[in-house]
Structure 1
């Protein structure tokens, strides 16, 4: 019988401490929805007492419904100078109104002396009191034992005593943290076994967790080892993002648990969503995906060598440790590869498009998709553009309007005044040519205004469209200001939220492509809703 494990994602908190990794509140909400869709058990949303953005995120999430995942607020034990009911950090955790609260406390005596500057007994007191105060306010209460492994190596009796106080305070799970990321697997095993003996001696059946950092390139190995020893909860981040060298990489941990270690959880059963989740996080963080990443990288199942290709065609097991489809990835050999067709069929079903398995249209879609990807298009964060691509290939996508030309220019009349931007658009709608002009805060905003101005007379429902996010990615930095760019636009109306993409050497052209797809998607979806 498969052993139950819990997957705890901290991308939105620990992941954002990575260099150059930044997410807006909207990005965090979108990632939360994706993690929930993937079956992640716990989503750590951030530290509500640390900054206004974290507070805004938790307020926003109070209006969101998660189907499976439980949201956790993260914070620290109370300040020694404050009573628990007067501590601002603990109050912020309660105000976040999450079903789960996670706090960390000190396990390493040098941190107690040098960081908190209190006595060892004082630290034990604030661990227990903080948890005891929070206990009535959370359905589940987790305790992160910070620097536990380093603390145990220096002073094992004290490190265990901190866990004892966390149990006394009412914690549901004790998470052993390799905060500095320096532990090697052969050091981790005896420490975990000693903790398990400690719990047995106390008669405690509390669950254990592991939170590993990757400074020694062993975070995944240490996490998997901990699970193999009976630890129940594993914490990590999508793509391993985190401070310094990163955290335990859930895109490697989850498939290993699901496919190789006979473990079970909702996320392990939905491991097929792993690749799309990985790439969505990269896209929203505006970072390039690591093509060489295990399981989810674009090169993870790419075969180039002649001998390898020949063998894989006969039997993929010759050079692949798993079937790529199991994690939502594809095998890359030929442009008309069967796995590429499978991906298109999967998306067609998701979009409600009737596409037969043996339809010749599939091959043309795969070919066009491959050509567009070579140009720099990516659709992980722009599924609306991908759906439009498929419908155009099938001949079912209506041509709502046709662009005849556009122009956008900036002017600055005085150095102490803001720039002025004007956009002009000519397009044809139903045989009628329309010419509009609009001002805006920059060329993209001006183009958006001119496009809406031209179309709203014909399609009043476009007034419902709100552009909520805009991202630009430079695709070939070696060309400097002449580099190709990819633009990702996020839009929404009262029904749904969608992403569109454009690619060009010209940022205005790329933005226009994404804007047009956004409007076309809205019109297409409204038309489909009317037919239902």
Structure 2
């Protein structure tokens, strides 16, 4: 590359106040926005996230079903996992998305045709390649240890080499906004080098995630590169990745990069679930996945969390379980009249659902709505039993009960208050003994023995059983005591068990004598449900939650009471 090359001359018109017409300047709300997902590459760099090859293939299929334009699969040659992914991805039958291989510009002093990174990108056979290069002189001189002019040569030569051998090539201008603040002329020269090499799109990266939306917009308005499509790639270190991405779209970006649920290194990347929903529903922009793809958004979000082996973030915009959950009585009363009063969109537009919660903030409207969800349609809202039930629920929540995640425990109290809950057995008491014993090999082992007394079918039942711990022993012996009359009880399985220490303000003592709340999730062959128990004694709290689970199972199965 000679000194006369246009990207070397510095004529980037970086101070132009208005964007030119054409691809580089955007075309308003009618411009199609390309959705570029990097969950499998940037998202996998999240702390505690480890995708297997099979995980990545499954996520790619779901992203294709969602309808994103590009799926960045990883860095070919960087590690055995990405190598295996791209080898197997050749058999993926993607219908809506294009797979992308990611890498860097060639190394200094190495010809493009001899560079191992560029050759691995081409060998992946994806047809679309994204490479990143430096646009901040600080990184060029300190990280790469080369002259700024040589870095421009790397960008130009790498893009030109790849573009001659594949369909599409995108250039990620790493640290672009920090680079522009430090040296706007050089940052634009980096873009021009990629443009002149034949890049199909220039992606402006807020790699450190520290820019503000106003800064993003002000800088983008100064960039005039006709006939080049601009994209945006933001990290979330300042909590503004989504806002910065949307600001860039307002200023002409036609490709948005991000990850599902905001996965990514440090504080993550722009959350595509939020970005896409805002683009289509709030900004009137167009994307190939379209509004018909939006109802899949919540499902994809929760699927990716499942692949990460982590619980979904309840308060996540649009797709979180709490995004359309209503708790305060005043809110619920209004929602039942017109959802627009407290919902900015219809939850079904993004595949989510409205939830009415019951708590100490609830009113009769909450209860009436919950009754409808349970199929109870014939209760008079003025029935005095409702106020008694509401008072009971508020008292229980004051003591530490939480019914948001334990709707089985809630339903049992409703059915009992309305006289709809049969009495399947009578409780007489229980006892649990923990044992610490020495095995033959000298190792200590722990175990527990539980005793329960019930009256089932008019007959006293007294059973003893053992388990790995007190909760296991209690659950085991209760099932043994009940299976004679209710054999279906054996299909109930404990899925998750959580203990929470409750504040002293709830009436209990502090420290090891604190009140505890036990939340347990259960499953049988047809359904899953949650139960709750609260006590100063963790075993008593667990026993209450277990009892609720077994009674709920019997009620839902329509079991005939044996008492």
For Structure 1 versus Structure 2, the TM-score category normalised by the shorter chain is: 0.5 to 0.7
- For 1:452-471, list aligned pairs within 5 A: none
User: Aligned to 1:214, what secondary structure does the other structure show?
Assistant: coil
Q: Distance in 2 between matches of 1:112 and 1:184?
A: 24
Q: Distance in 1 between matches of 2:288 and 2:372?
A: 30
Q: Which of 261, 281, 284 is equivalent to 1:259?
A: 281
Q: Which of 278, 292, 295 is equivalent to 2:318?
A: 295
Q: Which residue of 2 aligns with 1:245?
A: 267
How many residues are matched? 366
1:257, 1:268 within 8 Å by CA — same for their partners in 2?
no
In the alignment, does 2:340 pair up with 1:317?
Answer: yes
User: Aligned to 1:194, what secondary structure does the other structure show?
Assistant: coil
- For 1:14-29, list aligned pairs within 5 A: 14-29=42-57
Q: Distance in 2 between matches of 1:79 and 1:38?
A: 37
C-alpha displacement of 1:485: 7.9
User: Aligned to 2:222, what secondary structure does the other structure show?
Assistant: helix
User: Aligned to 2:202, what secondary structure does the other structure show?
Assistant: strand
Q: Distance in 2 between matches of 1:501 and 1:137?
A: 53
Q: 1:375 to 1:23 in 2, by over 3 A?
A: farther
Q: 1:372 to 1:229 in 2, by over 3 A?
A: closer
2:314, 2:322 within 8 Å by CA — same for their partners in 1?
yes
Q: Distance in 2 between matches of 1:49 and 1:218?
A: 33
- For 1:394-433, list aligned pairs within 5 A: none
Q: Which residue of 2 aligns with 1:146?
A: 174
2:209, 2:237 within 8 Å by CA — same for their partners in 1?
yes
C-alpha displacement of 1:194: 1.1
Q: Distance in 1 between matches of 2:116 and 2:345?
A: 49
- For 1:194-213, list aligned pairs within 5 A: 194-195=222-223, 197=224, 199=225, 204-213=226-235
Per-residue CA deviation, residues 435-485 of structure 1 (Å, 9 max, x unaligned), is xxxxxxxxxxxxxxxxxxxxxxxxxxxxxxxxxxxxx99652769xx9968
Q: Distance in 2 between matches of 1:486 and 1:100?
A: 46
Q: Which residue of 1 aligns with 2:302?
A: 279
In the alignment, does 2:97 pair up with 1:69?
Answer: yes
Q: Which residue of 1 aligns with 2:160?
A: 132
Q: 1:298 to 1:130 in 2, by over 3 A?
A: same
Q: Distance in 1 between matches of 2:198 and 2:495?
A: 47
C-alpha displacement of 1:268: 3.2
Per-residue CA deviation, residues 55-99 of structure 1 (Å, 9 max, x unaligned), is 100111101110010000000001103211111111111111102
1:175, 1:210 within 8 Å by CA — same for their partners in 2?
yes
Per-residue CA deviation, residues 412-451 of structure 1 (Å, 9 max, x unaligned), is 9999xxxxxxxxxxxxxxxxxxxxxxxxxxxxxxxxxxxx
Q: Distance in 2 between matches of 1:177 and 1:49?
A: 23
1:175, 1:208 within 8 Å by CA — same for their partners in 2?
yes
Q: Distance in 2 between matches of 1:145 and 1:413?
A: 65
C-alpha displacement of 1:22: 1.4
- For 1:490-529, list aligned pairs within 5 A: none
Q: Which residue of 2 aligns with 1:495?
A: none
Q: Distance in 1 between matches of 2:59 and 2:529?
A: 21
Q: 1:476 to 1:43 in 2, by over 3 A?
A: same
In the alignment, does 2:33 pair up with 1:11?
Answer: no
2:405, 2:530 within 8 Å by CA — same for their partners in 1?
no
Q: 1:374 to 1:187 in 2, by over 3 A?
A: same
Q: Which of 204, 222, 226 is equivalent to 1:176?
A: 204
Q: Distance in 2 between matches of 1:502 and 1:134?
A: 54
Q: Which residue of 1 aligns with 2:250?
A: 228
User: Aligned to 2:99, what secondary structure does the other structure show?
Assistant: strand
1:152, 1:160 within 8 Å by CA — same for their partners in 2?
yes
Q: Distance in 2 between matches of 1:62 and 1:144?
A: 24
In the alignment, does 2:82 pair up with 1:82?
Answer: no
1:107, 1:162 within 8 Å by CA — same for their partners in 2?
yes
User: Aligned to 2:195, what secondary structure does the other structure show?
Assistant: helix
Q: Which residue of 2 aligns with 1:96?
A: 124
Q: Which has the higher contact order (CA 8 A, sep 6+)?
A: 2
Per-residue CA deviation, residues 205-230 of structure 1 (Å, 9 max, x unaligned), is 11000000111111100101111122
Q: TM-score, normalized by length of structure 2?
A: 0.61
C-alpha displacement of 1:139: 1.4
User: Aligned to 2:266, what secondary structure does the other structure show?
Assistant: coil
Q: Distance in 2 between matches of 1:33 and 1:112?
A: 38
* Structure 1 unaligned blocks of 5 or more: 341-370, 377-411, 416-471, 488-499, 505-532
User: Aligned to 2:289, what secondary structure does the other structure show?
Assistant: helix
Q: Which residue of 1 aligns with 2:473?
A: none
In the alignment, does 2:356 pair up with 1:328?
Answer: no
Q: 1:194 to 1:43 in 2, by over 3 A?
A: same
Q: 1:303 to 1:162 in 2, by over 3 A?
A: same
Q: Distance in 1 between matches of 2:135 and 2:253?
A: 19
Q: CA RMSD in A?
A: 3.1
1:474, 1:485 within 8 Å by CA — same for their partners in 2?
yes
Q: 1:319 to 1:82 in 2, by over 3 A?
A: same
Q: Which residue of 2 aligns with 1:123?
A: 151
2:172, 2:202 within 8 Å by CA — same for their partners in 1?
yes
